[in-house]
């Protein structure tokens, strides 16, 4: 029951966890998008406001906003209600309550993964697939790790391959827990549960608990002397965008907007502005973290690549940049429907 409570609390937090701009008081608001003209919506998305939970039933979205954002939203004629009046005070209260102790640090993930490969060497191996931004520039940082689980794990067999990864957005700290749980479930039930045994014997399963370990660690730090905002709301990686050796809300790249396909397609789905929560970077795959994901995918023939996020209770599949359906849309719909 305790674990369930933690997960539900995490969902409650991260459904409203959003924004990167600096302000004396940031708020979580719920914005009503129902019945809005498409041109208004287009201009709204161009504002670069960091959006959180989309509620398809009410056609509303949660966002964490600065005081300056309020006038922009009001100028578009959008209605909103305040959900949390001081988001950073709320985050600090959670931090002081010991909330983050219910989640693994990246160091704890690494320790557990090394324990797994030591205990189950025949079916699990660990690989460095890349490095974080801070490691790439010699400022500490981390290796980005992925575990392969399969029988004959040291061999590349002619079996279907899948890749699950999480935590491309720093603050979504519930998502590595899902990957770690699945990792333990597979190795601990191999040879015990017939279906798990079948999967491990007939699939090559790759699991990466954090694609943004710098950001994940930053969420856990609790303070930033150069920024009044609480790191618990951080979304992007740790790139120093202006190279001034001062990390603040104007830094970082949204790694989920840094992949190559249709990079920079418009300024609604991503932003060219470094201070935006959806800043896409200087070019496709400009970040070592997105390069790590790309390189692993190019080395394999994954039949499924699944990225875990929190929180809108959505299954998202191509395309994201247009409403035109892909030739595989019926398959995507079937898979999504089977999971909800």
The 3-state secondary structure of the chain reads CHHHHHHHHHHHHHCCCCCCCCCCCCEEEEEECCCCCHHHHHHHHHCCCCEEEEECCCCEEEEEECHHHHHHHHHCCCEEEEEECCHHHHHHHHHHCCHHHHCCCHHHHHHHHHHHHHHCCCCEEEEEEEECHHHHCCCCCCEEEEEEECCCCCCCCCCCEEEEEECCCCCCCHHHHHHHHHHHHHHHHCCCCHHHHHHHHHCEEEEECCCCHHHHHHHHHCCCCCCCCCHHHCCCCCCCCCCCCCCCCCCCCCHHHCCCCCCCCCCCCCECCCCCCCECCCCCCCCHHHHHHHHHHHHCCEEEEEEECCCCCCCCCCCCCCCCCCCCHHHHHHHHHHCC
122 and 151 share a domain?
yes
Q: What is the rounded average pLDDT of the residues 39-44?
A: 87
| CATH code, 135 | 3.40.630.10
The domain boundary residue, chosen from 39, 73, 99:
99
Q: Which residue has the higher pLDDT, 56 or 163?
A: 163
Q: What pLDDT is attached to residue 13?
A: 40
Is 161 inside a domain boundary? yes
How much is the pTM? 0.88
Per-residue confidence band for 214, with pLDDT thresholds at 50, 70 and 90: very high
pLDDT value of residue 67: 83
Are 13 and 139 members of one domain? no
Q: Is residue 322 part of a domain?
A: no
* Range with the poorest average pLDDT among 24-28, 113-117, 152-156, 287-291: 24-28
Could you tell me if residue 95 is inside a domain?
yes
124 and 66 within one domain: no
Domain co-membership, 28 together with 154 = no
- Is a pLDDT exceeding 70 seen at residue 22? no
Same-domain status, 185 and 261: yes
pLDDT band at 51 (very low <50, low <70, confident <90, very high): confident
Confidence of residue 227 (pLDDT cuts 50, 70, 90): low
Domain limit, last residue, from 67, 99, 131: 99
Average pLDDT over residues 215-237: 83
Q: Are residues 86 and 120 in the same domain?
A: no
State residue 224's pLDDT score: 62
Question: Over pLDDT 90: what percentage of the chain?
Answer: 70
pLDDT of residue 206: 99
Whether the predicted pLDDT of 14 surpasses 60 = no
Percent of the chain whose pLDDT exceeds 70: 91
145-164 tens-digit pLDDT: 999 999 999 999 999 999 99
320 domain residue, yes or no: no
Last residue of a domain, one of 99, 122, 137: 99
pLDDT of residue 151: 98
Domain that holds residue 220: 105-309
Confidence of residue 127 (pLDDT cuts 50, 70, 90): very high
Q: What is the mean pLDDT of the chain?
A: 89
- Note the pLDDT of residue 24: 61
Q: Are residues 161 and 225 in the same domain?
A: yes
Residue 67 is assigned to a structural domain of this protein: yes
Which CATH number fits the domain that encloses residue 50? 3.30.70.340
* Confidence class for position 313, pLDDT limits 50, 70, 90: confident
Is pLDDT above 70 for 226?
no
Q: Is the pLDDT of residue 73 over 70?
A: yes
The reply to whether 92 and 140 lie within a common domain is no
In a domain, 325, yes or no: no
Q: How many domains, the chain?
A: 2
């Amino acid at each position: 029951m305790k674990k369930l409570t933690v997960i539900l609390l995490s969902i409650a937090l991260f459904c409203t966890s959003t924004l990167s701009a600096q302000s004396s008081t940031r708020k979580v608001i719920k914005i009503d998008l129902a019945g809005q003209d498409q041109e208004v919506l287009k201009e709204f998305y161009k504002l670069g406001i960091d959006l959180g939970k989309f509620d398809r039933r009410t056609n509303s979205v949660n966002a964490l906003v600065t005081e300056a954002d309020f006038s922009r939203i009001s100028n578009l004629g959008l209605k909103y209600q305040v959900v949390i009046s001081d988001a950073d005070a709320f985050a600090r209260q959670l931090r002081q309550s010991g909330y983050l102790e219910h989640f693994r640090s990246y160091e704890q993930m690494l320790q557990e993964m090394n324990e797994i490969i030591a205990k189950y060497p025949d079916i699990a191996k660990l690989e460095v697939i890349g490095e974080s931004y801070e490691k790439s520039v010699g400022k500490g940082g981390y290796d980005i790790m992925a575990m392969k689980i399969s029988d004959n794990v040291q061999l590349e067999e002619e079996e279907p391959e899948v890749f699950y990864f999480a935590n491309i957005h720093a603050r979504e700290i519930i998502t590595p827990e899902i990957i770690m749980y699945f990792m333990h479930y597979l190795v601990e039930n191999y040879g015990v549960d017939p279906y798990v045994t079948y999967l491990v014997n007939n699939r090559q399963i790759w699991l990466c608990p954090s694609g943004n370990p710098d950001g994940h660690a930053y969420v856990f730090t609790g303070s930033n002397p150069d920024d009044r905002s609480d790191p618990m709301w951080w979304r992007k990686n740790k790139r120093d965008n202006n190279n001034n050796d001062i990390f603040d809300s104007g830094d970082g790249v949204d790694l989920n907007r840094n992949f190559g396909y249709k990079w920079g397609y418009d300024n609604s789905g991503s932003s060219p502005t470094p201070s935006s929560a959806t800043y896409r970077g200087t070019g496709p795959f400009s970040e070592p973290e997105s390069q790590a994901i790309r390189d692993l995918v190019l080395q394999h023939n994954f039949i499924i690549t699944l990225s875990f996020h929190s929180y809108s209770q959505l299954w998202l599949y191509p395309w994201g940049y247009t409403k035109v359906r892909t030739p595989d849309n019926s398959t995507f719909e079937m898979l999504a429907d089977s999971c909800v």
